[in-house]
Amino acid sequence: MTSGNWHTETVYAITDLRPHQARPEQLAGWIRGHWQIENSLHWVRDVTYAEDTSQVRTGHAPQVMACLRNFAISAHRLAGAHNIAAALRH
């Protein structure tokens, strides 16, 4: 439902927490944090490293390549790179 500048979205999540163990604001924060990490990592892997167009498909090679990509991304971030594509070009 949209009204002016306000937007309401319903999100369903599963947790093993009891209702008294986490407030809705906490759950929302955890979900947003999860998707922020997911989106930033997957976007870099998909766009910068073109993971979706990889033709490596046999044996353990896809998992090994994903591991190497994750290592490279982590190494660049630990070195202070905010833009992985620019860090790769450098």
Domain boundaries, the chain: 9-89
What is the value of pTM for the model shown? 0.59
Token pair recorded at residue 37: 């990490």
Q: How confident is the model at residue 4 (pLDDT cuts 50, 70, 90)?
A: low
The pLDDT of residue 84 is 92
Any residues with CB less than 8 A from the CB of 25 and at least 6 apart, and which?
Answer: none
The pLDDT of residue 71 is 94
Q: Per residue in 41-61, pLDDT tens? A: 888 998 899 999 999 999 999
Q: How confident is the model at residue 28 (pLDDT cuts 50, 70, 90)?
A: confident
Mean pLDDT within 58-70: 94
